[in-house]
Homo-oligomer: A and B are copies of this chain.
């Protein structure tokens, strides 16, 4: 692969040599950083994603929604009217909790998943990532434990790390988080005297695993957490994107006092607006708003107003139906191609919603070590290690089908199959490839790559 070589003479006076860029030396501020900053390191795969964004590479790595499906012309007219008639309000500071009209509309959306909530308990956030950051900020001291699925969302792991919380994983299977494993893990942590602050879970169309928590497991997960005195943080960006139009009862619909629910318009409308929300028990909501105020004063009024007007004036459910159809076709293309092309020994999940397939490769292949070779063959994915806080995941990888066309997806999977066959050939010739040291999550930012 041809990665751009560093120039011997940097033209940019601010640019520094690669060693300094990696934070290893030459940083005169090193002794000043907070302890938490030691955990903030750029991923070694980040540079690869810059290469992977070239048009000749089929990226099955990113989690970007397919915005060509949006009605941009009518949206444009709407936003123009918003600015012309309500610009003085829409461009002004707002409350840290978010604009009231939008919080009411958010309650109507959550009702579709069985949630009964009052707008007073909703806080609008700068994407649900910011909701996650605020929840972690108010609950986690250094050394506290967050329990999460194995694997879990890379962006969440980055946030937990930024607050020096430790992630302990609980296995999942095709029906999502395994209650018996959750029970076993929480008991072991209690016996070890660890403070577990919350379970972080993505019940629907999991990122990266592609599975959904079975309905019959939901009450059990809630009961186990309540009994252990552990809060449940339910992250649900994909819940409306079930390919057959199915929705599942939210954990929050079954239990209101021990659940913080995080929602987002990034996947059902547009991520560049950065509008998400947190629904929390009243006392927790108060802390969230104070935390949000110190972080950003208020979420952007303008993008909130854009979302509110979109919900009021558009057939937003119809738009979600369009998205579902687009993504179902792409899921079908990916699953079909995996079945047609992948070598024996590969296993993958079959999502009925969302953006992702989770692939387990044959014994001996290291997906992180394989990535540079895959990018050389013009296909990109996210290695499984990104989704674990403990350095495991070398035998897995995430494939996303949200952004490329079905034809590109098929071509990408064909290329991936070639790469995998090459790896298997190497192994049969030379024996198992030496694994790299596991390094855990390092903000590879694959969801925006």
Instruction: Give the interface of A toward B (CB within 8 A).
Output: 12-16, 20-21, 23, 26-30, 32-37, 40-42, 62-65, 67-68, 70, 72-73, 75-77, 79-81, 83-84, 87-96, 117-118, 120-121, 126-127, 129-130, 133, 137-141, 144, 155, 158-159, 161-163, 197, 229, 231, 257, 266, 270-274, 281-284, 286-287, 290-291, 293-303, 305-306, 443, 445, 447-448
Query: Complex: how many Å from CA A13 to CA B257?
Result: 12
Query: Complex: how many Å from CA A36 to CA B274?
Result: 26
Question: Which chain B positions have C-beta within 8 A of A283?
Answer: 16, 20, 23, 26-30
Query: Complex: how many Å from CA A344 to CA B37?
Result: 52
Known A-B contacts A29-B281, A126-B126, A272-B301; A37 and B287 likewise in contact (beta carbons under 8 Å): yes
Known A-B contacts A15-B282, A303-B302; A231 and B93 likewise in contact (beta carbons under 8 Å): no
Query: Complex: how many Å from CA A420 to CA B280?
Result: 43
Query: Complex: how many Å from CA A283 to CA B77?
Result: 43
Known A-B contacts A92-B271, A290-B42, A300-B300; A34 and B129 likewise in contact (beta carbons under 8 Å): no
15 more contacts with CB within 8 A, not counting A91-B271, A92-B272, A274-B301, are A21-B286, A32-B139, A40-B291, A72-B83, A72-B88, A77-B80, A79-B80, A93-B447, A96-B445, A96-B448, A129-B294, A155-B297, A274-B296, A290-B443, A297-B448
Question: Which chain B positions have C-beta within 8 A of A26?
Answer: 283
Top 5 A-B pairs, shortest CB-CB distance: A272-B301, A27-B283, A80-B80, A91-B270, A76-B83
Q: Is A272 within 8 A of B90, CB to CB?
A: yes
Query: Complex: how many Å from CA A322 to CA B72?
Result: 33
Q: Which residue of B lies closest to A140 (CB)?
A: B34
- From residue A104, how far is it (CB to closest CB) to chain B in Å? 12
Question: Which chain B positions have C-beta within 8 A of A293?
Answer: 155, 158, 443, 445
Q: Is A296 within 8 A of B127, CB to CB?
A: yes
Known A-B contacts A36-B137, A80-B77, A271-B93; A159 and B29 likewise in contact (beta carbons under 8 Å): no
How many identical chains are in the complex?
A: 2
Query: Complex: how many Å from CA A99 to CA B118?
Result: 37
Q: Is A448 within 8 A of B294, CB to CB?
A: no
Q: Is B87 within 8 A of A33, CB to CB?
A: no
Q: Which residue of B lies closest to A121 (CB)?
A: B14
Question: Which chain B positions have C-beta within 8 A of A162?
Answer: 137, 291, 294-295
Query: Complex: how many Å from CA A75 to CA B298?
Result: 22
Known A-B contacts A15-B120, A91-B273, A286-B42; A133 and B32 likewise in contact (beta carbons under 8 Å): no
- 5 example contacts (A-B, Cβ-Cβ < 8 A) are as follows A14-B118, A15-B118, A94-B272, A126-B296, A298-B448
- From residue A196, how far is it (CB to closest CB) to chain B in Å? 10
Q: Which residue of B lies closest to A118 (CB)?
A: B14
Query: Complex: how many Å from CA A280 to CA B404?
Result: 36
Q: Is B294 within 8 A of A295, CB to CB?
A: no
Question: Which chain B positions have C-beta within 8 A of A28?
Answer: 257, 281, 283
The one of B13, B80, B87, B126 that contacts A70, using a Cβ cutoff of 8 Å? B87
Query: Complex: how many Å from CA A85 to CA B26?
Result: 44
Question: Which chain B positions have C-beta within 8 A of A126?
Answer: 126, 274, 295-296, 300
- From residue A228, how far is it (CB to closest CB) to chain B in Å? 12
Q: Which residue of B lies closest to A448 (CB)?
A: B93
